[in-house]
Structure 1
Amino acid sequence: MSLRSVVVVALLLWFPVGALAQSPTTGAIQGVVTDSKSGDALAGVTVIITASGVSTQSQITDSRGAYKIANLPPGRYLVTFYYLDSTIERSDIIVGIQKVTPVYLKMGADGGGKGEVVRIEGHAPTIDPTSTAQGITIDKDYLKNIPVPGRTFESALGAAPGSQGDVLGVAFSGSTSLENQYIVDGVNTTGLTFGTVGSPVINDFIEEIEIITGGYNAEFGRATGGIVNVVTKSGSNELKGSIFGYMQPGFLTAPAVETPSNSSSIDVVGDVGYRADLGFEIGGPIKKDKLWFYVGFAPAFTRIDYTRTTKTQTDCRRTLEDGTRSDCDTRLVTQGGFADGTADIDPDTGFFITDDVDSEVRATTLRTYNTLAKLNYALNPQQQGQLAVSYVPGSSRRPGLFGPASYGRKSSGANTDVSLKWTSKFNNDRTEVEATLGLHRDSFTLEAIDDTLQGTPQQILIGGELGTYGRGFGESQATQAGCTDGMTGGDRFPFITNCPMDSSAYIIGGPGSVYQDLEQRRTGRISVTQRVKAAGTHEFKAGIDSEDNRSTNTRALSGDAFLYNQVNLAVDVLRWVQIAGTEDGRERFDQMCTTANPDAEVGGMLQFKCDFLGNLGAEGTGVVSNTFNWSAYVRDSWQIRPNITVNAGMRYEEQRLRYAGFLQGQVDPVTGETFGKNALVLKNEWAPRLGILYDWTKEGRSKVYAHWGRFYESIPLAINNLTFGQPIIYSQTYTPTLCGEVDPAIGAPNGFGCSTTATEPDQGTQLSGVNGSLVAPGLKGQYIDEIVAGAEYEFFDDFKLGLSIQDRRYGRVIEDVSVDGANTYIVANPGDFPKDEEAKLQRRIDAMEAGADRDLLEKQLEMFRGIRIFDKPRRDYTAMQITMSRRFKNKLYTQASYTFSRTRGNYPGLISYDDNVILPNASTQYDLIELLANRIGPLPQDRPHYVKLDGYYTHDKGKIGAFTVGARFRALSGIPQNALGSHYLYGDSQSFLLPRGTIGRSSFEHGLDLHVGYARPLKRQMKFEVFFDIYNVYDNQGTFNVDDSYANGVRQSQPNGGGGSLQNANPVSGGTYDDLLWVKTVNDDGGETNVPIGRNPNFRKTIGRYGPAYGRIGARLTF
């Protein structure tokens, strides 16, 4: 940050002028008071704002008749105007988070009224004439009366126009769900490793949710998606609260529509057994007008019932001449039947036909305990503080599903958030300073259900058959009888293997990966807001904040190893290791590891000293990752006139991504260089923001606006662990006979013998991850640029229409790339290597003597130049939104939106939807140059049409009670479909055989949810309510995902089809569907063969559906 910028911030901190902006957890009320006859401004009007549990605030209108009162918690307020003998009240004024509510007034300049109080009915306008931010605000009435499909706040985020769900959450405005920032009570609670929702606050504890999908000011950053700002409830001068309970029983869930798949010998389907939570929340005064409390507690319980079905393939059918399937006849073909020694195939799907053998239900249970405690303190109206603590411990138990039930896992963890905020106003409210300290902490532990297995390696059995495994590991008698081949009198299909385990694994032993992880973010923020009169009114706000993000990730395996047993073919023993040079003298590096030299020109084997990392808690198993972020901003909201506002701001951000703690100060055994502290430092992330607004009604009932801004990504910690944490796995491959004698339970040698043998592996060894990653010189931060423009108008009280456009585009992306066939990875800006950085490195090389060091730098420079051959990442989002909202007092509420949008490019963002790889900034999308072919087109987020309609109506019959009906309707376009193939190095769904999106689009989807409630008043302001929510009312289980794999990595086994062979394929650049007939397979060396690829029989068919209809019942007692 420049000296000039520091001076500007310092001046803003100390210059004593009025402070009137709202904080991230509060809002404001502003307006203009004019003479009802002449229209002239009225100066000297006293404006007082009151509400229960909020200190009274007041202000006197200035020479323009203007006033603004800020730092108001969300809620309903009474605004009273005093002028001479006149007193006028405006009640039921709603204030939202980060919103300015306009309250304009016309009154007599003569002060007539003789002490009478005039009460004006009707709500204030719902348009914020000072903000260009797009999005919506969700209050507690919405959460109570709309059938929100979940119990925590993230389930309500889909109400925002321009939002859509993805595999990890809710995405906004063409971005992925990992690009959002989540703020709870002023503290950043975003998940540290990936950027998911970090603190899922239960809806009953929430006062209001602000969702900003674009156009936000300089106060907000570290997000290229949306900002979700949650404010929890607080105590007031009235003691009030509720007791509540919700229940989703399994019998209120409709049967799921079956999605055809190629059945394995074990199929597992999960259904909700029940979801239930009950709790209470209460708040009130400890000392009225001084100190208030709020407490909530709500345990939640879930059981998922997994129906586990064992199946046998059949050999008794054939396809008839008309293409239909015959009945089952188990006699041989030579005897007049249909058995031919080949498993039957369904001609419609290409899948194996199976018969059920046995079925059982295994249940997973989950428990969480939602806890919130909050204190609010007002020393006086100018000095106020808040302390909020949220603690959500939880646990789960999941049985083994593809093996014995006792080989399952149990987990536990806790989510903790602490926020401490203090707001001070000085110099007759001329200066306002807000300081916030925060802690976000998330712990997670995973281990074996059976403690005796905690030290046992997990073993994955691939191949073999279930009959043998069933006898060895205690499958049911029915499974043993139906799956055992050659059983006298019991084998219905004696000419085939009844229950092969080729397409799914059988899992035995310990839990495998064990975890004792911890994420923790410490934050501090201070801001100052001041007001200056100069050519209108300037409202300056400046602030600085810092984050220390730290995680401890576990690298440990039960029994110190993981076994991949390809029955009777090979056994792979995998271990987490740390490596050192052969001259390293540390005692724990007591093993030797060998691997092929990734430099094919040099060839040969590399050798390192190794430490085989032990079980949980052993040295080296806890890897500490750390990133330090800080930012500063300044923003001026300039009201040239009360109805013309210009918002101009600048934000500066820095990120310091550090090497894992165990690497810092150590010598890299590959390059010989010493690891420093910082692996990557991103500076000069300047993010300007500029917006302008005009209210043509001059009453806060309209606005026309435009905004331009730049927004930088905050890189999640996953890249620290993966790229800068040297996660190395050592693989040793054995011929099974080296593991010992045949184990009758497996029908082959048990891989466990190879995990303890001193015999050298005879099929090779490999270190994965040893080569690490380079950081390209001149690397710069990832950002998007955005333009929004629109208009809103309140046609009459509480009825608002809006029209807006939004354009978002990537300006730069950070990804790892490889220019040498995935041997070396470079963290870079794909497509960009600065010329000045190239020249610097070249001058450094020119100054060096000939030798190994110079050769290494020359090789690196050549790789850096190769970054330019990659296509620059593109993600272009363009949208038009039409919005409507209507509120009639507390009885009727509706909000609706229609979004037309297109999202095109070659890079979806931090989630690689095409192959479901979730590695932000380190995905496979830019690892190989050949993977970029055909990627430009409609991205997975491209859903052109999206209609949303929410509403509720309450019919109050007084003592009889109140009836409420709420509804939630969604309709949206389907997802783009592609034709994907397997890559010889990277596996399934990596090659775009045809240009993105040319295959078509899945069907248009829609759904309706309903809420019905009845509330009856009781004594002493108590009310009892019962309600019933129905989700997916007409049970439309539409397509959530389709199978885009045209050619799987393993050819589908079928009669005369060459089943089981590997197949990879290269893209057909610019090709059409007809060209797929001519695509040939690629061998393991990347060479094209003359063998045509085989079409996946499930291509373009549904593989994931939206959930079935279900019901939820509940009750609430409020007081």
Structure 2
Amino acid sequence: MKRSSLNRNLRRSALTVALGLCFTSAVHAQQATGALFGQAASGETVVIENPATGFRRELVVGADGGYRVPSIQPGSYRVTLKRADGSTAVRDVTVSVGTGTPVNFAAGGGTTQLDGVTVVGTRAVNPIDVSSVASTSILTAEQMAKIPVLRDATSVALLAPGTVRGDTAFGNLASFGGSSVAENQYYVNGFNITNSYRSLNFAQVPFEAIAEQQTMTGGYGSEFGRSLGGVVNQVTKRGTNDFQAGGNIFWSPDSLRSEVANTYYSNPLVPGDLGKLRQDNSNDTLGGMQAAVWAGGALVKDKLFAYGVLTYSKVDREDWGTVLSRTNTDESEKGDPTWLVKLDWNITDDHHLEFTGLSDKRTTTTKTYLNTVGELDRGNLVGTSYAESGGENYVFRYTGYLTEAFTVSALYGTSDYSRSRRLVTADGQQVEYGGDLNQPATGCPVITDIRPGYRQAITGAYSSSCNITGTSIDRVDSKDTRDQFRLDFDWEIGDHRVGFGYDTDDFESVAGTSLEGGRIWRYSTNNGPDGLANTGDEFDIVREQIVNQGSTVRVEQHAYYLEDNWQVTDTFQAYIGLRWDTFENFNGEGDAYVKIENQFAPRLGFSWDVNGDSSWKVYGTAGRYALPLTSSVAVRGASASLFTRQNFNFTGVDPVTGAPIGLTPRAALSYINGEFGEPKNAATIASKNLDPMYQDEYILGTQYQLTEHQSVGVKGTYRKLKAAIDDNCDYTPIFDMAVADGLDPVLPSSGFPYCRMFNPGADSVFVTDIENNGVMTEYTIPGELLSPPAKRSYEALELFWDGSWDKWFASASYTMAWNKGNTEGGVKSDIGQSDTSVTQDFDYKELAVDSYGYLPNDRRHSLKVFGNYQINDEWSAGGNLLVQSGRPINCLGVLYPYHGGIHPYGASFFRCGTTEAGGVNGPSEPVPRGTAGRLPWTNSIDLNIAYFPKWASGLAFKIDVFNVFDSQKVTSVTEVAEDGTTGVPLNTYLVPRSFQAPRSVRFMVQYDF
């Protein structure tokens, strides 16, 4: 390799290792490891050692003067140069996950030789890595401990530029570069821990076990796939020759937590309710604790090492709900022991084997009590919900240095994840769903009373006093399992550093839901023969709705990749990456309903070491990234399911369950959307020419070392969605073509599904059993008849600065971004819809009208600053600042007129202002996406102080205060403005759904020995 000028300035290179840069770039095929590289005289010997683990590699510098050691565990290393004359030079450096660390021994070109000097870096941040092109940030366990940040992977990832917190409807997840929260991938020690059922959660690694977290926000190499957003890559701590152990306790008392803000009705179109109290949060509580113990050391010195951590956490929460709540004042408790075990075996100097075991099983216990409407009180216990999540992960990884130029890594892992939920009534009766479509969930039914107020005043509101959740529950055996295998190769060939590999990732889900009590009873009022309200001839009716799903579905995925880091000149490196992905989805009958083979994803990049000394880097990338369908799509859309409705007259209502009695059918049973409990024909579920969801990304950036202690950078990013996958439920284009062909379409039918998977805007080839006679007919439907193309773009300019001195370090970033389109992606924050890949965005083409605009993850301005100051040997202080502009607001209402009435999708359209108190009185008025205003800017400051007493070595105390000034700005609101049946304005429009977390305090006591 031609590296005679690469990283030649030893003084700068060594100090760069000490200083580092938080926002750097990743090297290929290093999902759990890093690399060392540098320059020395040809023929000299370089020895890389880690005294803590006994790791040792010795190699001879090549003819071009370059050397490189790939695939080494993150940690501290001593690099020794042995010269022919017997003299030596030594460097102490730190290697981080996914990066290359420069260690240069070459003199010349005005450099200063530092023979025999050992440079030890404090490693507050990471070095400028000119060896690769991707955009990433890395934080070590030491750094995370010094700044006030919540102890979870998402909170750490949100420190990186280009990330924003997603909608609270999907939990604690991050949006990367304008993508939805369902488009990220998460890894630990090279194993994919993303839960691919909906891609909305992942395994939780005990925070004490994390050695480093790498957050990749774009430009990552072809060894990473199945992601359009970002990648969170964690490596765990491991045992060393030095025995270490310790324990800690974190405590967050509710008594020091500020009161959560109340919510009030905010819709100016309903002046009678404007400003009235909606939700009183004064009695809500939230507090918790976590304790951990850990130990690590050598079982056999220099050969076999073990590390383990055991944690227990408990969170107590009381949520009193709205003042209209009748039955669901909740008290929740979460906590199960979690653990991680890491084993490392240095079989020889050239062969390494490791094992990771992780359990994050958790049980959330929620108790539901009766509540007096309009009061904050607690009545009798209704029942208790036990929801399981998490599971166990086991990973084996082998690394072999077969030659000085050829390295191989092999990984196999398996995991399981529980999504089970069971209920127990106050008198001890089990309520659960077993997955049988013909046996709905047991228990009390869900009751909905939509009758107008004057009718409720006559008989009282109908409700249940024994329903525990008021919603659907997962089948009791719900779970997900994953089997993953991958091979990665690293090969030095002259000026080329070639990586190639293969991976398989198979995911199976046992899934299904049923309404608690098996059904919803929906009470409404018929206006009688004259069609007018409150004229004396009205009567009430009730509708029974049953929705049961249950199946075992799976996704099989494999990919090949090839990449080349080509040292074109002494200072210029080119990156060429190629990836081929195959995705295959199977329904509950074991039939494939989607198969996309060898999706091609090319990636290009460059890295220019402008000064030839790692002090100034200019880089760029261009790449294509593809995303598979989640397994959840098949549970209802491609497998047998049951969805029925039937209207009844009734004579009375059970006072406990709220269920009607004295039923008389008003009409026959109806199967909705062709869901009548029979298997679906896999050939009819998706377009034959379906493409995966994919996007193109372009990045151009630079990083520059201002002084020995600080660096700056700037990066521009552009992302554009090229194709999306969603479902379309408008069957009329196929129906009309069939009628024109002289056929007699049969609806509903298992061979003629209402909703089908397609690429919005593209011509779709559907196969359908038109007449339900076993004869399949193929139709090509022009894209414009179904929907407009899916659009999403992200443009961003990022500025960042990092500094490190003897006593303090800090990082700051500012991001200006535009996130625009007609679809958020996998999920839909507008209404909190978590049906990944099957949102309602493109169910009917009318839904996409005026849907183009600024998306929910659009945050125009984000300023992030964090750091720590070491006051003296005993005291340190840290801070974390976030200032961010608010998200756009929508106004969602009904589409009227639509074939003489209101569109059956109700208040799902970007149209508002069509109604008065009496109902629809005129055509819908467009309110394009994002034009109904913006939420306010938010700001928060977190501070901490730590005390390390000299009188007790190893003991530490810390206090973190989050949101010091208790800023509780609104972060999301209800965006549905009209009733979906009548079009009447809703008083709940603009009611806050979430605020900034109130001020809270966390105490820590820790002891290391």
2:374 is the counterpart of 1:423 = no
Q: CA deviation at 1:431?
A: 2.3
Is 1:731 matched up with 2:645? yes
Using a 3 Å threshold, how does the CA distance of structure 1 residues 460 and 223 change in structure 2: closer, same or farther?
same
Q: Which amino acid aligns with 2:447?
A: L
Ranges in structure 2 where 5+ consecutive residues have no aligned partner:
1-26, 266-272, 372-379, 433-441, 526-538, 734-752, 896-902, 912-925
Aligned to 2:923: none
Rounded to whole Å, the distance in 2 between the matches of 1:965 and 1:632 is 47
Equivalent AA in structure 2 for residue 256 of structure 1:
V
Task: Compute the RMSD of aligned alpha carbons.
Answer: 3.4
Paired residue for 1:637?
565
Correspondence for 2:540: 569
1:995 aligns with 2:928: yes
2:763 counterpart SS class: coil
| Pick aligned residue for 2:295 from 272, 275, 282 | 282
Distance in 1 separating the partners of 2:760 and 2:322 = 47
Whether 1:647 aligns to 2:580 is: no
Distance in 2, Cα, partners of 1:644 & 1:431 = 23
- Residue 879 of structure 1: CA displacement? 0.7
**Which residue does 1:452 correspond to in 2?**
429
Structure 1 residues 980 and 362, CA, compared in 2 at 3 Å: closer, same or farther?
Answer: closer
Equivalence for 1:1013:
946
**What residue number does 1:257 align with?**
261
Task: Give the C-alpha shift of residue 445 in structure 1.
Answer: 2.2
Higher helix share: 1
Within 5 Å, which residues of 2 pair with 1:159-308? 159-167=159-167, 168=170, 169-261=173-265, 271-307=284-320
Q: Deviations over 1:551-603 (max 9, x none)?
A: 001345666555456698334444456xxxxxxxxxxxxxxxxxxxxxxxxxx
Task: Indicate if the aligned counterparts of 2:405 and 2:493 stay in contact, CA closer than 8 A.
Answer: no
Matches within 5 A, 1:361-400: 363-400=331-368
Correspondences of 1:63-78 after superposition (within 5 Å) = 63-78=63-78
Query: Which amino acid in the other structure matches residue 467 of structure 2?
Result: I
Give 1:297-376 correspondences, 5 Å limit: 297-307=310-320, 363-376=331-344
Q: 1:1018 to 1:647 in 2, by over 3 A?
A: farther
CA distance in 1, matches of 2:469, 2:877: 51
Are 1:1063 and 2:982 matched, yes or no? yes
Q: What SS does structure 2 have at the residue aligned with 1:925?
A: coil
- Kindly indicate whether the alpha-carbon contact (under 8 Å) linking 1:294 and 1:373 is maintained by their aligned counterparts in 2: yes
Aligned AA for 1:861?
A: Y
1:953/1:966 contact within 8 Å kept: yes
Counterpart position of 1:830: 760
Contact residue 519 and residue 550 of structure 1 kept, 8 A: yes
Aligned to 1:521: 482
Residues 110-161 of structure 1: CA distance to partner in whole angstroms, max 9, x if unpaired? xx99x99433455797111022111201110122111112x22222110111
The alpha carbon displacement at 1:547 in A equals 1.3
Equivalents in 2 of 1:514, 1:752: separation in Å? 25
Q: Which amino acid aligns with 1:1006?
A: N
Report the alpha carbon displacement of residue 200 of structure 1 after superposing the two structures with TM: 1.3
- Work out whether residues 262 and 280 of structure 2, in 8 Å CA contact, stay in contact via their aligned partners in 1: no
1:26 to 18, 29, 33: 33
Q: Does 2:553 align with 1:625? A: yes
Kept in 2: contact 1:182–1:197 (CA 8 A): no
Contact 2:341 2:358 in 1 (8 A): yes
Does residue 788 of structure 1 match 2:789? no
Q: Is 1:817–2:728 an aligned residue pair?
A: yes
Partner residue of 2:496? 538
1:985 matched to which residue of 2?
Answer: 904
Match of 2:838, SS? coil
Deviations, residues 372-402 of structure 1 (Å, cap 9, x unaligned): 1111000111000101100122222212256
Give structure 1 stretches of 5+ with no counterpart.
Answer: 1-19, 34-40, 313-357, 466-484, 486-493, 578-620, 665-676, 846-850, 1050-1061, 1065-1093
CA distance in 1 between partners of 2:489 and 2:455 (Å): 81
CA–CA distance in structure 2, aligned partners of residues 51 and 779 of structure 1: 54
- What residue in structure 2 maps to residue 482 of structure 1? none
Q: How many residues align?
A: 883
Q: Which amino acid aligns with 1:211?
A: T
Query: Residue deviations 1:732-780, cap 9 Å, x none?
Result: 332222xxx654557xxx52758xxxx7733442223426663222111
**Residue 589 of structure 1: aligned partner:** none
Q: In structure 2, what residue type is equivalent to 1:57?
A: R
* Aligned partner letter, 1:306: D
User: Deviation at 1:982?
Assistant: 3.0
Going from structure 1 to structure 2, the CA distance change for 1:299 and 1:752 (only over 3 Å counts) comes to farther
- CA 1:726–1:268 in structure 2 vs 1: closer, same or farther (change >3 Å)? farther
TM-score between both structures, scaled by the size of structure 1: 0.74
Shift of 1:506: 5.7
**By how many angstroms is 1:1095 displaced?**
4.6
The aligned counterpart of 1:617 is none
Q: Give aligned-pair identity as a percent.
A: 22
For residues 468 and 419 of structure 2, the distance between their equivalents in structure 1, rounded to whole angstroms, comes to: 22
Contact 1:433 1:527 in 2 (8 A): yes
- Distance in 2 between the 1:190 and 1:805 partners? 28
SS of aligned partner of 2:429: helix
Q: Is 1:949 aligned with 2:865?
A: yes
Q: Is the 8 A contact 2:889 2:931 kept in 1?
A: yes
Larger Rg: 1
In structure 1, how many angstroms separate the alpha carbons of the residues matched to 2:811 and 2:646?
A: 60
User: 2:50·2:76 contact (CA, 8 Å) conserved in 1?
Assistant: no
Which deviations, in whole Å up to 9, do the C-alpha atoms of 1:795-836 show, x marking residues without a partner?
A: 2234221111110001111111233369822211111117xx
Check the 8 A contact 2:390/2:417 in 1, yes or no: yes
Aligned 8 A contact 1:954 1:964 in 2: yes
Could you list the per-position Cα deviations for residues 23-82 of structure 1 after superposition, in whole angstroms to 9, with x for gaps in the alignment?
Answer: 31010111113xxxxxxx554243433341251222222223211122221222222222
Conserved? CA contact 2:445–2:515, under 8 Å: no
Structure 1 stretch displaced more, 166-175 or 452-461: 452-461
Displacement of 1:792: 0.6
| Offset from partner CA, 1:960-988 (integer Å, 9 cap, x none) | xx211111110111111222213531233
Equivalent pair of 2:907/2:977 in contact (CA under 8 Å): no
Q: For 1:1025-1036, what aligned pairs fall within 5 Å after superposition?
A: 1025-1036=956-967
Partner of 1:1106: 996
Worse-matched range after superposition: 244-253 or 973-982: 973-982
Match of 2:789 among 872, 892, 915: 872
Whether the 8 Å contact between 2:445 and 2:518 is mirrored in structure 1 is no
Q: Is 1:899 aligned with 2:801?
A: no
Residues 267 and 660 of structure 1, relative CA distance in 2, 3 Å threshold: farther
One-letter amino acid matched to 2:982: Q
Provide the rounded CA distance (Å) in 2 between the counterparts of 1:995 and 1:387: 53
In the superposition, relative to structure 1, how do residues 87 and 868 fare at CA in structure 2: closer, same or farther (>3 Å)?
farther
Deviation at 1:94, TM superposition (A): 2.1
Match of 1:698 in 2: 612
For residues 870-908 of structure 1, the C-alpha deviation after alignment (integer angstroms, 9 at most, x for no partner) is 21111111111111112235x322111111111111111
Of residues 162-171 and 1097-1106 in structure 1, the stretch that sits farther from structure 2 once superposed is 1097-1106
State the match for 2:887 in structure 1. 975
Quickly say closer, same or farther: Cα 1:927–1:852, change in 2 above 3 A. closer
Residues 798/195 of structure 1: CA separation in 2 closer, same or farther (3 Å cut): farther
Does the 8 Å CA contact 2:28/2:221 hold for their aligned counterparts?
Answer: no
List per-residue Cα deviations over 1:70-108 (Å, max 9, x = no partner).
2221222222222223222222x2211110011223459
Which residue does the alignment assign to 2:505?
Answer: 547
Distance 2:417 2:517 in 1: 26
1:593 aligned partner: none
Contact 2:329-2:370 within 8 A present in 1 as well = no
Decide whether aligned partners of structure 1 residues 495 and 728 sit closer, same or farther in structure 2, where only a CA change above 3 A counts: closer
